[in-house]
C-alpha cells in the first residue's frame, strides 16, 4: 500500500508520544536526556536551538543512531531517553519513528522549535 507523507506522519505520531512544553522542560531539567534537533544547519543558524541539544539533520539520523553505522554518534544509546524536535513537528515525528524502529524505547516528539522558544524555553544561538 502506497502512503503519502501525511499518512507517514500520522503513523509516526501514533507511535511516538508528543510532549507538551512543561513535560519536555521537566525531562530536560532532570538530565540524562538526549535532545536532538533534526533541522538543517541553516535553520539552526537563523534561530538557534534548544540549549544543550545536538544537531543531527533528519537525513543523517539513522546513521548517527545506529551503533553498527560508521557514522554512529556515541551520544546515542538505546537505553537513553531521546527527545526530538524540528521546525513544525513533522520531521521529528518521522525521526522518532525511525529511532523506535532502530530499537530505541524512550523516544518523544517535542514538536516545533518555535513553540519551545515562544514558551520561554532556553535557547542557545550558534
Compute CA 23 distance to the chain's CA centroid, rounded to the nearest angstrom. 15
pTM listed for this prediction: 0.95
Domain ranges in the chain are: 5-124
pLDDT, tens digit (0-9, with 9 covering 90-100), for 60-76:
999 999 999 999 999 99
Q: Report whether pLDDT(12) > 90.
A: yes
Backbone angles phi, psi at 77, to 5 degrees: -145, 135
- Alpha-carbon separation of residue 82 from 1, 5, 110 (angstroms): 30, 23, 10
pLDDT band at 126 (very low <50, low <70, confident <90, very high): confident
Looking at residue 2, its pLDDT comes to: 85
Q: Report whether pLDDT(1) > 80.
A: no
Looking at residue 34, its pLDDT comes to: 98
pLDDT band at 10 (very low <50, low <70, confident <90, very high): very high
Looking at residue 97, its pLDDT comes to: 98
Q: Report whether pLDDT(54) > 90.
A: yes
Looking at domain 5-124, which CATH architecture does it have?
Answer: 3-Layer(aba) Sandwich (3.40)
Full DSSP string of 104-123: --SEEEEEEHHHHHHTT--E
Amino acid at each position: 500500500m502506497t502512503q503519502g507523507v501525511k499518512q507517514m506522519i500520522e503513523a509516526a505520531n501514533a507511535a511516538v508520544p508528543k510532549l507538551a512544553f512543561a513535560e519536555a522542560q521537566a525531562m530536560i531539567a532532570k538530565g540524562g536526556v538526549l535532545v536532538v534537533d533534526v533541522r538543517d544547519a541553516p535553520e539552526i543558524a537563523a534561530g538557534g536551538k534548544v540549549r544543550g541539544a545536538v544537531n543531527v539533520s533528519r537525513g543523517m539520523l539513522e546513521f548517527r543512531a545506529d551503533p553498527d553505522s560508521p557514522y554512529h554518534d556515541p551520544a546515542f544509546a538505546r537505553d537513553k531517553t531521546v527527545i526530538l524536535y524540528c521546525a513544525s513537528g513533522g520531521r521529528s515525528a518521522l525521526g522518532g519513528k525511525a529511532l523506535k524502529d532502530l530499537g530505541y524505547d524512550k523516544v518523544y516528539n517535542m514538536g516545533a522549535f518555535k513553540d519551545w522558544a515562544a514558551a520561554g524555553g532556553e535557547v542557545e544561538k550558534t
